[in-house]
Every structure is written in C-alpha cells, then in structure tokens.
C-alpha cells in the first residue's frame, strides 16, 4: 500500500514538497513524453501498484511511479529485490500498448535504454541476457516487464527498474550474488542530491523505448543490445531450471530477442526467461 503520495501529474508545478517539484522540473528539462508522475515514500512494489491500477483501467497517458523504499520489490522469477530507504532508484512506468508485444524482447530494448542512459553519465555497463545491467561483471540494476489487461481488454505494459545507488556492507551477503552500486563510480553525495534527475532520465528513457518498441518492435534495438551484451563471443554456460548446464559460445540474440549459443552440437536457441548465464570456467 502506498503510504504517502508526494506528487501526482506532470502538469504545471504547484506549491509542493521538493521531491515533487524536483521530479517535475527534471522531467520537463529533458523534454520527456507527457506522463503522470507520482513519488511515494514507501510501497510494497511499484510494479504491483501500477499493475493493479492498469487492471482497473489502462492509462490514457503513461504513468511513472517511484518510491524511496519498497518492502516487496521483485525481480525475475519472483526473487526479492532488497533495498534500504533512499539507497536505490526504484521506479516503474506504464504504457497502454497498441500492438501485440512479447515481453522478452521488450525487456531487452529497455535494457538498452538504461545502459545508454548510464553511458551518457560516463558509466560503462554491460547487459546480461535477459534483464540484468552489470557493472564490472556485477549486478547494478534489474528490469522487470509485466502485462496487465483491463475489463475492456486493453493491454498495459508495466516496466520496473531497480538500480543500486549505494549498497550497505551487509547487503552483499544477503543478496546472494555479486552486486554493484553506482556510488562505486560516481560521487555518492552528488547521486543523492540528484535522485530526481536520475529518476527522470531513466524513466523517460524507458518510456521512449516502450513507445519505440510498440511502434517498430525489436529491430531498432537488436544491434544496440548485441553491442552491450556481456560475454558475447566468449564461452559461457547456460542453464535452464532442472537441466544440466549447456556450454557454448555466446553469439548474440535473434530477431525475437532469443539467445543464440553455438555448442559442439550446433546452434542452440534459448527463449525462456528462466535461464542462468554465467561465464564458463
């Protein structure tokens, strides 16, 4: 449940707390698409909140919801996303779709948008298929795409982004995988002071990617994704749940965003999101 609404809408600014005006100002400054903006202190999950709203009625104008803290944040396969207040960028955007859309390649397209936004700030990252953003081989951010249908059958894509600003020392053991934070490469004080600008940049980039994907599919993103793909051209191990790892050379993705792996038996294509990819020993 949302505990306190700090801002709603992206219209002319009214007298309001700093987070609202800061986000609205940042949104307008980058010429982002029209969007209803909302900032809350705490919620269970920004994705879950927008999915619930979209099931009632698809948005006529895109939505962006951001929170300082999530108590039930989720990653791929239902994994928990651990955060402490203010130490991560947590946001979801929602867009009513015009076309039938597959979630897997759409997630890749939004990964490109996140990576390119970070690159503009001087942060070089790689994309781990299908939905992780890596800094020096460690997870910096995750992306989760989900679909909602309202009573009229209108389809809404809800795209969540969680990005670590700062990682408390005890989080590394609790996360259970190598993790990274933006404060490792950018000044922490500056990051905290510009959270609204970061949320606006990432949210606008994700929304533009969703709009572009809805219009043109994965084709405009494929080459960009492959340039950013971690371990491309290297020998890796791919494992589906309940199966033995499959070794091969990571070639890239196909036109549907499926992973292409060259093995001793020939090319294998992986389309399921329930995969684990690790650099092979």
Report CA-CA distances (Å) from 149 to 53, 112, 169, 273.
10, 26, 41, 21
Nearest CA among 176, 166, 174 for reference residue 140: 166
- Choosing from 128, 139, 155, 260, the catalytic residue is 139
DSSP-based three-state secondary structure for 76:
helix
Cα–Cα distance between 234 and 161 in angstroms, integer?
A: 28
The values of phi and psi at residue 113, to 5°, are -60, -45
For 222-235, the DSSP string reads HHHHHHHBTTTTSE
Rg of the chain over Cα atoms, rounded to whole angstroms, equals: 18
Would you call 76 a catalytic residue per the annotation?
A: yes
Q: How many CA atoms lie within 13 A of 87 on its CB side?
A: 15
Whether 139 sits among the annotated catalytic residues: the reply is yes
Integer Cα distance of 211 and 104 in angstroms: 16
Both tokens of residue 208? Answer: 């533009």
Concerning whether 278 is annotated as a catalytic residue, the answer is yes
The catalytically annotated residue of 55, 174, 227, 278 is: 278
Neighbours of 56 (CB within 10 A): 9
Residues taking part in catalysis: 76, 139, 278
């Amino acid at each position: 449940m949302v505990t306190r609404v700090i801002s709603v809408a992206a219209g002319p600014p009214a007298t309001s707390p700093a987070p609202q005006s800061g986000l609205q100002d940042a949104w307008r400054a980058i010429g982002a698409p029209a969007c209803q903006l909302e900032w809350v202190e705490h919620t269970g999950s920004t994705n879950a909140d927008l999915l619930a709203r979209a099931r009632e009625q698809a948005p006529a104008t895109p939505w962006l919801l951001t929170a300082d803290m999530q108590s039930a944040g989720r990653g791929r396969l239902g994994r928990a996303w651990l955060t402490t207040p203010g130490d991560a960028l947590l946001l979801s955007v929602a867009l009513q779709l015009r076309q039938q859309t597959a979630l897997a390649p759409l997630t890749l397209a939004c990964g490109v948008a996140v990576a390119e936004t970070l690159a503009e700030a001087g942060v070089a990252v790689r994309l781990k298929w299908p939905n992780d953003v890596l800094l020096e081989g460690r997870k910096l951010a995750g992306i989760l795409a989900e679909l909602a249908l309202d009573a009229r059958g209108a389809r809404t894509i809800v795209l969540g982004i969680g990005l670590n600003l700062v990682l408390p020392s005890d989080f590394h053991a609790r996360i259970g995988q190598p993790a990274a934070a933006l404060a490792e490469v950018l000044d922490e004080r500056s990051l905290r002071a510009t959270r609204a600008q970061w949320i606006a940049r990432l949210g606008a980039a994700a929304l533009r990617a969703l709009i572009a994907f809805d219009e043109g599919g994965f084709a405009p993103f494929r080459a960009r994704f492959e340039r950013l793909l971690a371990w491309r051209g290297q020998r890796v191990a791919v494992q589906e749940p309940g199966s033995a790892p499959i070794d091969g050379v990571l070639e890239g993705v196909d036109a549907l965003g499926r992973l292409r792996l060259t093995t001793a038996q020939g090319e294998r294509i992986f389309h399921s999101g329930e995969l684990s990819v690790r650099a092979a020993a």
